[in-house]
Structure 1
């Protein structure tokens, strides 16, 4: 019985989305914001989607942490954990607040995969504010 209910629900959702599309009832970004506001997930722009693959280039070699940032938090933390979960970007701002652009530039220069740490920091700050 639950399988039948699931199929009916799926069919109803398909019909509804097709009908909504025919009559221009798509809600786009505004509806996305309403649906995901509690989850603290901001919408992604086309530019964000181009940037995302670059954010995942860290191979955890630790070279960016060798000269270590004066703030005590390594750049590898930014690349591997602070930038991974959008709902937690407000927490990532704490470690970013203690990190200067010059420190990130220095760490970027050491990175063998050229992870754009400054762009990651800008991305995290922008999404934390939205």
Structure 2
């Protein structure tokens, strides 16, 4: 199955963790080559009526300052899709119930694996 279809399944798990209020963090990792952009992180910002995320771009050279911005989840999805398979080969959802890893292999095939949770509590941005 191509990675775009599998990513849609993964994104549904992300949205479910947000609904369940178990979403702790999301990380794009496994860079392609040696780019300056090292990671992209999403941290939750739960509000009574709204959910937003703190998007953080983390850079490899220490001289380059990280960039953070508060955005809607839909905007984050667009950013993640733009970096998937161009800059990063994996996205990891950390929730308080399980960790879910989405990976793209060299042939462009996506996969999802689940493991025990890394986080016990949700820490907002």
Q: Please report the TM-score for the alignment, with normalisation by the length of structure 1.
A: 0.25
Which of structures 1 and 2 has the larger relative contact order (alpha carbons within 8 angstroms, sep 6+)?
2
Q: Comparing both structures, which one devotes a greater share of its residues to helix?
A: 1
Greater gyration radius = 1
**TM-score, length-normalised on structure 2?**
0.26
